[in-house]
Structure 1
Amino acid sequence: MIKDPYLDQPYSPAVRGLLGDFDIYDREHTLGLELEKYDINCSADRRMLAKNYILVSYDFLSYRHKFLLVAVLGSALQDESYNFRTLLEHDCESTNLFPSGWDEMKNPRAFFEDIYSVLSDEWKGELLRASLEDQSTW
């Protein structure tokens, strides 16, 4: 069983985890201002966000961890009923906060499709390597 890189428990990636780098709570005047430079409804900008934040943040993962993360996202994208919008909604009971306007994104699914595309392209070799292994032995 593949373990979480930081915790002594099974690795269980979630689609929501991909948004962690965009949480601006208590960083509205730094990260928040930086992220507001991007148009969240523009595919090219979303792809840049994925490259500049998600790829950098997850670079430490092993090829197996990356494979599982991309598989979880791919599975969500295959599910036509998966509601990506709920991942971006602000919960007033939570300390999580996304940049202004992200909860009104025109097509949240497209945002995650762009993330999937970037991760699949950038990690192509590692994903292929993992796909050729017997995942049941991890």
Structure 2
Amino acid sequence: MIDPSSGQPYVPTPSYFLGCFDIYDREETLGEELEAFDPNNPADREVLIREYCFDRRWKPPYRQKFLMVKCLEEALQDGEYDFQALLKYDPEAYSSFPDGWDEMEDVRGFFEDILKLALIEWRDDLQKAGLEDPSTWVTV
């Protein structure tokens, strides 16, 4: 599948679900907003995922959603996948997460919750894409 915006193959990673939590250059706005939540608290975690990962303003195409979910499922099936590394601060990158997120107690659990809610929130789109042959997909 080719991403029409870049002309490159679309190959998502679990980190695609974290873009909504990137506070780089938005520390005083989004950063302060997100710091009101504790990603280790199950109730806060659900709000974070529902309100930010599945924000109604962000509407990836149904095929993109399907590929994102499939890549997350594969990562979760891999017992060696290092989810913690996705939150690690990189001083060379133009991205950052709220304070303390790099020390989240159960990052794998956070991604398990993202998957659980993606299967609910995107159910219709996932079903639609699942009825198609992905080998025929040319663009997102």
TM-score (norm 1): 0.91
Q: Identical aligned pairs, as a percentage?
A: 50
Gaps of at least 5 residues in structure 2 are: none
**Runs of 4+, deviation exceeding 4 Å:** none
**Corresponding residue for 1:91?**
90
Q: d(CA) in 1 for partners of 2:4 and 2:119? A: 21
Does structure 1 retain, via aligned residues, the 8 Å contact 2:16–2:68? no
TM-score (norm 2): 0.90
1:20 equivalent to 2:19? Answer yes
Gaps of at least 5 residues in structure 1 are: none
Does structure 2 retain, via aligned residues, the 8 Å contact 1:88–1:98? yes
Q: d(CA) in 2 for partners of 1:88 and 1:57? A: 24
Moved more, 45-54 or 80-89: 45-54
User: Match of 1:56, SS?
Assistant: coil
Does structure 2 retain, via aligned residues, the 8 Å contact 1:46–1:115? no
Does structure 2 retain, via aligned residues, the 8 Å contact 1:51–1:118? yes
Does structure 1 retain, via aligned residues, the 8 Å contact 2:87–2:97? yes
Counterparts of 1:1-138 in structure 2 under 5 Å?
Answer: 2-56=1-55, 59-138=58-137
Given residue 112 of structure 1, which amino acid in structure 2 is its aligned partner?
Answer: F
Given residue 132 of structure 1, which amino acid in structure 2 is its aligned partner?
Answer: L
Q: C-alpha displacement at 1:60, in angstroms? A: 2.3
Does structure 2 retain, via aligned residues, the 8 Å contact 1:21–1:57? no
